[in-house]
Chain A
Amino acid sequence: MLKIECPWCGPRHETEFRYGGEAHRVRPEKPDSLTDEAWAAFLFMRTNTKGAFAERWCHVNGCRRWFNVLRHTVSHEILAVYAMGEVPPVPGARKEGGQ
Chain B
Amino acid sequence: MAKYENWLSPVAALAPSFPQGLEALPFCAQVNLRGNPGDPEFMSRVKGELGFALPTVPNTVAGRKKCRALWLGPDEWLIVEEGDARFRDAPEGALAAQLEQALEGLHHAVTDVSANRIRLELSGPEVRTVLMKSCELDCHPAVFRPGQVAQTLLAKAQVILEKPAEDRVHLYVRNSFALYVAEWLVDAFRYSGE
Interface residues in chain A, defined as those with a beta carbon under 8 Å from any beta carbon in chain B = 8-13, 15-16, 61-65
**Are A63 and B138 also in contact (CB < 8 A) when A8-B73, A8-B74, A9-B59 are?**
no
Are B153 and A61 within 8 A (Cβ)?
A: yes
Flag if A8 contacts B58 (CB, 8 Å).
yes
Query: Known contacts A8-B58, A16-B153: does B158 contact A63 (CB below 8 Å)?
Result: no
A residues near B136, Cβ cutoff 8 Å? 12-13, 15-16
Q: Which residues of B contact A8 (CB under 8 A)?
A: 58-59, 73-74
Q: How many residues of B contact A (CB 8 A)?
A: 14
Docked complex Cα distance between A16 and B74 (Å): 17
Once the chains bind, are B72 and A61 in contact (CB under 8 Å)? no
Q: Are B153 and A65 in contact (CB under 8 A)?
A: no
Given contacts A9-B150, A11-B138, A12-B152, contact A61 B58 (CB under 8 A): no
User: Which residues of chain B from 46 to 64 have a CB within 8 Å of any chain A CB?
Assistant: 58-59
A61 in contact with B158 (CB, 8 Å): yes
Q: Flag B107-122 by CB within 8 Å of A: 1 or 0 each.
A: 0000000000000000
